[in-house]
Amino acid sequence: MRPPVILLLLGFLLPASQTFAFKANDFKTCAQSGFCRRGRALSARALAAGSSWRSPYSIDPSSILLAPDQASFTASVKSALYPEVNFGLDVRLHDDGVVRVRMDEMGGLRKRYDEAANWALVAPPLISRNIVWKVGKGAVHAVYGEKKNIEVVIEFDLLRVTLFRDGVEQVVLNDRGLLHMEHFRTKDDTKPVTIQDGEGEAQTALHLNDRAWFEGEEQDAWWEETWSSWTDSKPKGPESLSLDVTFPNHRHVYGIPQHATNLSLPTTTGPDAGYTDPYRLYNSDVFEYLVSSPVSLYGSVPLMHAHNAKSTVAIFNAVGSDTWIDIGRTESGTETHWISESGILDVFLLPGPTPTDVFAQYTRLTGTAPLPAHWALGYHQCRWNYVSSDDVRSVQRRLDDENMPVDAFWLDIEYSEGHKYFIWDKKNFPDPVEMIKDVEALERRMVIIVDPHLKRDSSYPVYKAASDLESLVKPKSGTGEYEGWCWPGSSSWVDFFNPKSWDMWVSFFKTKSVDGQWSWTESTENVGIWNDMNEPSVFNGPEISMPRDNVHYGGWEHRDVHNINGMLFTNQTYNALMHRSDPPKRPFVLTRSFYAGSQRFGAMWTGDNVGTWEHMAVGIKMVLANGLGGFGFGGSDVGGFFGNPDPEMLVRWYGVGAFSPFFRAHAHIDAKRREPYLLDEPYKSMLRDVLRLRYAMLPVWYTAFREMSATGIPILRPQYVVFPEDSEGFAIDDQFYVGSSGLLVKPVTTRGATSASVYLSDPQIYYDYFTFHTYPAPSKKVARERTVTVPAALHQIPLLIRGGSIVPTRERPRRSSALMRNDPFTLRVALSSDGSATGEVYLDDGEGYGYTNGEFVWRQFGAETKKGGWGKGEELKIWSKDRAMQGGSNDVVVYNPANAFAESVSGVRVERVIVVGVGSRPTVVNVNGDSTVEWEWQGGTGYGATTESKAGVLVIRDPAVGIASDWQIAVVF
C-alpha cells in the first residue's frame, strides 16, 4: 500500500519526488542471497568447464520399479559427490500427456518441504492407464499421444529428462548438468578432510575438498546469513535446489508472473542480457516498482511457456520458496536456470502443442477461475480512503448526477478503528450497515479491506480468537506468537496453514452471531472483500516481510512456504464468503499476493503503481502475463495509485481499464481526489463515454469469463496466442484480443497520440468498431501480415472488429450492471472476407450457482452469404441457435433450453442488428419469414473491399426476436 513506517518517519525530510520511490536497498539482489550466489556460481563453473562438465546425479538402473498399471515408475538416484545420500525419483504420465517428475531426499536427517503442489493443484491428477514404459540399457522411455508422436526419455547417466514431439526436443531437464539438491547435513559433516604434508615440525595441514569442482570451495551462507540488520538463523543448513530447464528450439519464453517487464521475457545472462539479475519469485510489498525489472513483486506463479511457430510447451515448477530464474538465449532456443531456497523437485512438463492446449493442461492441474459475480465486471470506485459514510454516499450521488455507471465502492484501511479489521470507526462510520444498504439499494456493492495482520490487543475479538486457538504464526523458537509491525502497530499473523484457523475465519464473516461467537454482524451478505498486504508485508521485517525462520503449522519454516502464504489467506476468505449465505452467492475477493492456483479464489491487481505513462503501459503487459499464468481476472489501478495524473493521462488510463478484466480506479491517500466527475469538460464526457462503453460490452466480458472458467484460456489474448504461427507477433504485448469476440484493442499509452499502429496477423478484413472504416484483407500477392494506422485522438480508443465476428452488446445507459438485466441486445455482425460470421453470448443470473445445474442461456450466432438466393443476387442469412445443446462443450449434468433462467429472460429481445460489410442495398429483409421488419442501408464498400474505405452497413431495427430464442434473418440482394 504505502511505504513502511521507517519511510513515513523520514518522509518529512525528503522532497516529494523521493519520499515515494522504489527502494532497491529494501530487497536483496542475487549477489546478496546466499543460495542464489551458490546457484549462479555453480552455473559459472559449468560454463567454464565446457564439455568436460558432468552432472554428478545418475539413476541406479537396478532400482527401477514400474507401477503395475505402467503409468509411473520410481528409481533411486545417487550423487557422485555424496554416495551415502539417497534420493528418490518418481515419474508419471497424466491422462492429458503431462509428465510429472519428482525427486526428493530419502531417509535424510530431515524432511524437505513437499506440500507446495498440494496447495496448488485443484485435485490429484488422473494418471494414464495406457502408457508402456520401456527400460533400455541407458534410459527409460515411453511413447504416447494420439499420433504416438510424443516421447519422454529419462537417461540414467547424468539424469536427464527430455520431452520430444515428432522427434524434436521440446524441453530438457538437467541438460546442462546444473541439477543440485543440497542434502541435509550437520555442521560436523561439512568439515573438509585434513591430511598432513611433510614430517616432524615441517608438517603442514592440507584441507582437501574433492567436491569443490561442483559445490565451490566456500560454505557460502550455509548455516547463517546476515543481510542489512537481519540475521537468518538457518537451523536446517543448506537445502537449496538448482535445476536447469532448456527449451532447445523455442526462443520466446513467457510467464513466471509477477514482474514488470515485457511479455516475451528478456534475458538475464549472455552478452546481450536485458537484465543483470535473475527474475525473482518472492512475494514482496514493493511500492512504486520499476517499469522494467526482474525484481519480484506481489505474486509468484512458477510457470513458464515456451513458444515457436510449430509448438508451445510449458513447465510448472511446484515450489513455494524464494526462487531466482536466469534466462539465456542460444542460437535456436532458450536456456533457463531455476534456483530455489528449499523444497523438492516437483516439475510438470506440459506438452502443448498449442497455446490453447497448454492453458487447458495447466488449469486441469491448478483449476480454472470460477465464473465471477456479474457485478464484479463493472466499474469499481476506490481510494485510500473514503473517509466517512457521508463521503461514500456523496461519491455515489455525484456519479449518479453525472450519469456515470458504477458497480462497487471500496473502503480502505481507515474504515476500521485503529486498523482492527472488521471493527468500524464509529466516529466516521456511525451507520455502516445503513451505508452498505444505501449502496445496495441501487444494486451496487461495497468492497471492504481485510488484511492478514491482527492488532495485538486482547480486546480485539479477532486477535483474541486466533490467539486462543494458537493459530498464529510462531517465531523461530516455535513457541508463542510472532510479533511484527504493520498498520495497527504491534501485530501478529494468522497461520492459514493451520486447519484450526479455517472454521474460525469462516465464523468471522457471518452476518449473524452463531452460538455467541463474535462475527461481523455490521456487514451484509453482499459485501466483497479486499485482501491486501498478504505477501505478507511486515514493516520491520527483512525485505519488508516475515523472517524466514518463523515457524508455521507442521513445523515448516516460513522460507518453505513464503510464496504460498498469501494464497491461503485469499482461499479462506473466499471460503468464508461462500459460507456466509444459504444458498451461497458467488464471492468477490481481490488479492494482491498470489501463487499457482490463486485464480480459483478471485481477482488480482498489479499493486502500488504510479501515475505515469510508463506504468500505464507496463500494466497491460503484467495483466497479459498473469493471464498466461492462469490468473486472467486482473487489472492495474486506473490513474496509478501514487501521483496526480493530468486529464489526458487519466482519460487514456480509463481506456486501458475499460479493456481490463478487472476495472478499478484507485488512488493514494495523498493524491488529489480524481473521481471521474471532477474533471472539466471535455474530459469528463470522455470518461463517461468510456464507462458506458465498458457497460455496453459487459455481455462480451461475461461470455469471455465463461470461456475462461471452462477452458483456462485467458480473457485477454496476446497476438501469439491467437496466431501462434506468426513469428512477427510473438513479442507483441501492447495490443490484444478480448476473448473469442474478435475485438482487437490497442490502448494508447503515450502522450499526445493522434493515431496508433495496429499489427494484423491474418489475411482477414477488419473494421473500426466505431466508424466501420475497413482495413481490407491483403491480396494473395503480398504478405498476409500488415500494420495499419488507426485514428486515436484523445476521445478515441483504437478498437477493431475482426471480420467474421458477431459482437453482442447492450447499449442503454444504466447506473449499474444489475439494472441492465432485462435490457435488449444489439448484435454487430462483421462480415468476413467470404461473407460469414460467428459469435456467442452467455447469460445467467450473475449471482448464484444455478448455472451449475443448467440454469443459463448460451446462444451461438452465425451468418453466411450464399450465391443464387431469391432472385439473381446473393442471400445473407443470420441466425441464433442454442450453443449448449451442441454437445462436447457443456459441463453441467442436465441442461434444458427451457430452464428457469431462460424463462425469466424470455422477454429480452434483440433490438438491433448491425451488419457491417454490406456493399449493396438489399431488396428484401425478412425475419422468420416476415418481411415487415424496418431496416436501413448506409452505403459503403462490402466485405470484399480491396482498399481502405467506409463499409456499407445494414441496420435492422427491432427484429422482434428473443435473445434466448431460435430465429433466422434472411437478407436478399
- Number of Cβ atoms within 10 Å of the Cβ of 478: 12
Which of 26, 335, 417, 608 is the catalytic position?
Answer: 608
Amino acid at 601: F
Angle between helices 613-628 and 647-657 (to 10 degrees): 10
For 403-433, give the DSSP string: T----EEEE-GGGBGGG-TT-B-TTT-S-HH
Asked if omega into 266 is within 30° of 0 (cis), the reply is no
Which of 285, 535, 726, 855 is the catalytic position?
Answer: 535
- Number of Cβ atoms within 10 Å of the Cβ of 823: 18
Q: Is 532 part of the annotated catalytic residue set?
A: yes
What is the enclosing helix (H) or strand (E) of 565? helix 558-578
Give the burial class of 213: count Cβ atoms within 10 A of its Cβ; 0-12 exposed, 13-18 middle, 19 or more buried: middle
Rounded Cα distance, 652 and 659, in Å: 11
Q: Are 743 and 700 in contact (CB under 8 A)?
A: yes
> Which position has the grid cell 523437485?
345
Cell of 292: 522494467
Can you state the percent helix, strand and coil of the chain, rounding each to 5?
A: 25, 30, 50
Q: Are 481 and 443 in contact (CB under 8 A)?
A: no
Rounded to a whole number of angstroms, the distance between the first and last alpha carbons of the chain is: 61
- Given the DSSP bridges, would you call strands 86-93 and 99-106 parallel, antiparallel or unpaired? antiparallel
Rounded Cα distance, 951 and 968, in Å: 23
Rounded Cα distance, 325 and 322, in Å: 10
Rounded Cα distance, 545 and 386, in Å: 28
Rounded Cα distance, 440 and 437, in Å: 5
Rounded Cα distance, 13 and 5, in Å: 14
Q: Are 141 and 338 in contact (CB under 8 A)?
A: no
Q: Which of 758, 777, 796 shows the shortest CA–CA distance to 648? A: 796
Q: Which of 338, 165, 305, 268 shows the shortest CA–CA distance to 730? A: 305
Residue 98 phi, psi (nearest 5): -65, 140
Q: What value, to the nearest 5°, has the Cα angle with vertex 197 and ends 196 and 203?
A: 80
Q: Are 833 and 936 in contact (CB under 8 A)?
A: no
| 970 DSSP β-pair partners | 877, 926
Q: Are 55 and 81 in contact (CB under 8 A)?
A: no
The number of residues making up the chain comes to 973
Edge to edge, what strands does the sheet with 634-635 contain? 634-635, 603-605, 589-591, 528-531, 445-449, 408-411, 379-381, 663-665
Rounded Cα distance, 809 and 701, in Å: 10
Q: What is the DSSP secondary structure assignment for residue 371, as one 8-state letter?
A: P
Q: Is 608 part of the annotated catalytic residue set?
A: yes
Asked if omega into 257 is within 30° of 0 (cis), the reply is no
Q: How far is C-alpha 412 from the chain's CA centre?
A: 23
Q: Are 410 and 382 in contact (CB under 8 A)?
A: yes
Cell of 953: 452497413
Q: Are 510 and 580 in contact (CB under 8 A)?
A: yes
Q: Is 232 part of the annotated catalytic residue set?
A: no
For 167-216, give the DSSP string: TEEEEEESSSS--EEPPP--TGGGSPEEEEESSGGG-EEEEE-TTHHHH-
**201 phi-psi bin (left φ>0, alpha ψ -120 to 50, beta other):** alpha
**385 phi-psi bin (left φ>0, alpha ψ -120 to 50, beta other):** beta
Which of 532, 840, 845, 855 is the catalytic position?
Answer: 532
Which residues are identified as catalytic?
532, 535, 608
